[in-house]
Amino acid sequence: MLLTQKKSGGSKMSWDPVYRLVKQIPRGRVLSYGALAKALRLRGGARSAGRAMAATPSGKGIPWHRVVGERGKILIREPYASLQKKLLESEGVKVVESRVDLKTHLWSPSGKPPKTKKLSSSRRNPTKAK
């Protein structure tokens, strides 16, 4: 699903697909702006996801606080950064120095465990026994 920033005529576009996906993030889990953009194939990538989240309507039950930066960093400014940290911690997410541990709390929209970088076989076992 490709979304553009403006429809012809200058009217605002709908970020509804973004909000529908964000509503699926379970309590105690987070998703990065980049992963959100990739899952929805947003034109403009993580920045577009950030614009969508900045425009989140209040009172609609959208858990905006569950979207963080690529390395788990809380990227929004105060006073919302403190609120985001407080909301995440209330769900059991540990936040240290404005950063979430993605190994523990990252959610994948596909339902599969998120990919993690693996060490090459030569680095895992530098002294092979023969």
pLDDT band at 109 (very low <50, low <70, confident <90, very high): confident
pLDDT band at 115 (very low <50, low <70, confident <90, very high): low
**In the prediction, which pLDDT does 42 show?**
92
pLDDT band at 110 (very low <50, low <70, confident <90, very high): confident
Residue 100 and residue 70: Cα distance in Å, rounded? 10
Residue 94 and residue 85: Cα distance in Å, rounded? 9
Its pTM stands at 0.75
Segment 35-53 mean pLDDT: 94
Supply angle C-alpha 30, 35, 38, rounded to 5.
Answer: 155
**In the prediction, which pLDDT does 12 show?**
56
**In the prediction, which pLDDT does 13 show?**
62
Residue 33 and residue 68: Cα distance in Å, rounded? 6
What share of the chain in percent tops pLDDT 90?
69
> Model confidence over 76-98: pLDDT tens digits?
999 999 999 999 999 999 999 99
pLDDT, averaged across the chain: 83
